[in-house]
Amino acid sequence: MKKLAVLYLFISIATPLFAQNKDAQAKAKEEILAAETAFCSMAKEKGVEAAFLAFAADDAVISRTTKIYKGKDGIKKYYDRQDKNDQLTWKPTFVSVAESADMGYTYGEYDFSGVRVGSTLTDHGIFHTVWKKQKDSSWKFVFD
């Protein structure tokens, strides 16, 4: 009988905690999607560099071709060498959130266009971004 009472007590405590965790994950998923949407909107309105710097965590990393750029200073150095008229749009098609609801990732498709050496360059591909909830409850990317 004691074993049943302990099992009942465990289930009665664990069930609401599990539900709360799922609610936190669902909320985090919505917040990440909102951050991703705002990130893309800013890239359209204020430029790619401004958006990447605004949505990057202080210790963020971006991977471009064969090089890693670390932190906001590294990201700024990368984008300082890019054409300010580059256009980049994207849309997440998938988001997943950790059980802790403080990290998640997205992926989807992107479209890029820019001018290089007098020719228009276009690219279409798949992006992936890792997001981390910050101390102020905002979401910033830590890897792109």
| pLDDT tens per residue across span 16-25 | 444 457 899 9
The reported pTM is 0.82
- Locus of tokens 């102020």: 136
CA-nearest of 91, 90, 85, 77 to 114 is 85
CA-nearest of 68, 42, 69 to 55 is 42
- Into how many domains does the chain fold? 1
**Residue 112 to residues 12, 30, 36, 49, 53: CA-CA distances in angstroms?**
52, 25, 16, 13, 18
Q: Bridge-partner residues for 104, per DSSP?
A: 97, 131
> What is the reported pLDDT for 107?
98
Q: Which CATH number covers residue 134?
A: 3.10.450.50
Q: Which domain holds residue 103?
A: 2-143
> What is the reported pLDDT for 14?
40
